[in-house]
Structure 1
Amino acid sequence: RTIRSEGTVCMQQPDRFSMDYSDPDGDVLIVDGEFAWRFNPSTDDRQVIRCSVEGGGGRNNFFSTFLDNPRGRFEAVHEGREPMGEGVSHKIALTPKETGGAVEFRSAVVWLHVDSNFITALEIRDTNEQIRRLWLTNIRVGIEIPQDVFHFVPPGGTHVFTPPGCEG
């Protein structure tokens, strides 16, 4: 199954991440440095999932998932260069060296811009064979990001659920 979505991604090193979806509208993923908060009203408008960063919530920052110690964590195969967005990107297939535990996907393909080394696209095949594709456009760096972008307050009437293993 392939799911298509659109939105805005913001990141602030070392531990802040925000993915605010415009399609499906209202879905968000916020990593505030302490917790990862996922609210997907498109599928369940009454549940918020909270996971401590120590308990695995930090994995929701897909930039750090793929860029922190990639040689130590993945088998990588350079599959050439491809046009991607406004330029050309290296296409790199990744397979985790370890499975289970913190690894939540079977394989991934990452496209890195040949000049900037920015991630321009991702394709992630998870352990349930679901495929998630992300194309990153209009990449801007060195800009001021308001801190409220990385703050989440569960909407009234929602239940905050912490899955097993996410307590921290």
Structure 2
Amino acid sequence: MNELAILLTLISALGPQGPSAIDSAEAILARAAEAYRVATTLRSEFVQRIEIPVLEAEKEGRGVVFQRKPNYFLMKFDEPQGDIVVADGQWFWMYYPSAQPDQVVRTAIDQTSEGATLGGQFLVSPTERYVATYVQRDVVGQRPAYLLSLVPKFEAPYTLVRVWIDAQDHLVRKFEIHEENETVRTITLSNVEAGIDLPEDLFRFTPPPGVEVFTR
């Protein structure tokens, strides 16, 4: 079976394109929130694409992401090699040697939320914080998914989030974040593993010697 046939099979298996009562945006989002709640740890490969209209530029990166709730997170880039984002439970560290090899930026983590984890800001009490709209059924990495759009009800640095929620395990497989400055950041996940053992040591970060640390 060729690739096109596989995609057509997956799409047809999803049934009609319109949302049913059990496929409403709120119901889908509730299942995703529950899947996120019980997945205390997660490992996944990722591809990140950033479109920056004001600079007429695009950036792409890929690597592996790990997270352990509530506030441990590691985004380790293979491309650009060496770039890294780490949340160690207290600080959120960002080090991009591909662009600024002499600088590390850190921000204190809000201990009252799970914003340091991928999806935490979208999947904790989501219906209270976002207006959710069902868009369509779709496919991500040959897996059937539901596409929803989320508009924040609160002041946020983004105006819209589109999320692709797996139709089988209800974990988010793709995020598309539309920022206030019109930058669009898309993160696609693959080979997702939830509930695996991730030691706390994995999330430790020590700035390289000679690198200046800026605290925001």
Whether 2:215 is the aligned partner of 1:162: answer yes
User: Structure 2 unaligned runs (5+)?
Assistant: 1-51, 53-57
Whether 2:148 is the aligned partner of 1:97: answer no
Cα gap change, 1:126 to 1:11, in 2 (>3 Å): same
Residues of 2 paired with 1:153 and 1:58: CA distance? 22
What RMSD in Å do the two structures reach over aligned CA positions?
1.8
Whether 2:93 is the aligned partner of 1:37: answer yes
Whether 2:164 is the aligned partner of 1:111: answer yes
Q: How does 1:114-133 map to 2 (within 5 A)?
A: 114-133=167-186
Whether 2:49 is the aligned partner of 1:12: answer no
In proportion to residue count, which structure has more helix? 2
* Structure 2 match to 1:166: none
* Structure 1 match to 2:43: none
* Structure 1 match to 2:4: none
Whether 2:140 is the aligned partner of 1:84: answer yes
| Residue type of the alignment partner of 2:174 | A
Residues of 2 paired with 1:57 and 1:50: CA distance? 17
How much does 1:148 deviate? 2.7
Could you say what secondary structure the match of 1:137 adopts?
Answer: strand
How much does 1:24 deviate? 1.3
Residues of 2 paired with 1:37 and 1:58: CA distance? 16
User: Structure 1 unaligned runs (5+)?
Assistant: 164-168
Decide whether the 8 Å contact of 1:31 with 1:57 is kept in 2: no
* More displaced 10-residue stretch of structure 1: 57-66 or 142-151: 57-66
Decide whether the 8 Å contact of 2:134 with 2:148 is kept in 1: yes
Cα gap change, 1:142 to 1:21, in 2 (>3 Å): same
* Structure 1 match to 2:125: 69
Cα gap change, 1:35 to 1:9, in 2 (>3 Å): same
| Residue type of the alignment partner of 1:112 | I
Residues of 1 paired with 2:112 and 2:103: CA distance? 19
Decide whether the 8 Å contact of 2:71 with 2:115 is kept in 1: no
Decide whether the 8 Å contact of 1:16 with 1:32 is kept in 2: yes
Residues of 1 paired with 2:129 and 2:201: CA distance? 33
| Residue type of the alignment partner of 1:139 | V
Decide whether the 8 Å contact of 1:51 with 1:162 is kept in 2: yes
* Structure 1 match to 2:195: 142
Decide whether the 8 Å contact of 1:4 with 1:133 is kept in 2: no
Q: List structure 1 runs of 4+ shifted beyond 3 angstroms.
A: 55-60
Note the alpha carbon deviations across 1:13-40, whole angstroms, 9 max, x for none.
2221111111111111111111100101
Query: What number of residue pairs does the alignment pair up?
Result: 160
Decide whether the 8 Å contact of 1:81 with 1:90 is kept in 2: yes
